[in-house]
Amino acid sequence: MTEFSKTYQPERRGNQVEAGKARGRGKILTDALITALHREADMIIDGKPTKRLIMIAEQLVKKACEGDLAAIREVWDRVEGKAIQITEHAGPENKDLNFTISFVDPDGSVSQPEALPKQS
């Protein structure tokens, strides 16, 4: 069992990353998965031995081409990036919200940008 110093005691739950770093392991599962994905698979594509990573990508694309919606979303998100969700806020009775933006300089002084023209 790993012993921790008196000054470093990771929480029992929710801090497994820090606990792993304390044991000198880092991201064990991530490292193991990357190693496994770079091994050759039992599949030949285009007459060549293929890595497992390529095999998984081929299967994902195949599923997407067959109409699997989850696979289509995964391919789309990986290629195009996830869609940005735009959220609009309105004040009471859908009136405009008024707010002020202040900038705090490193010396602690507060400044405000010039007002922008109101959009209609």
Please check the confidence at residue 118 and state whether its pLDDT lies above 50. yes
Neighbours of 35 (CB within 10 A): 9
The pTM of this model reads: 0.46
CA gap 74, 103 in Å, rounded:
40
Q: Is the pLDDT of residue 5 over 60?
A: no
Q: What digits encode the pLDDT tens for the residues 38-75?
A: 888 877 778 887 889 888 999 999 999 999 999 999 99
State the pairing for strand pair 40-45/103-104.
unpaired
Amino acid at 111: S
Ranges of each domain in the chain: 16-79
Per DSSP, which regions of the chain are E strands?
40-45, 48-51, 103-104, 110-111
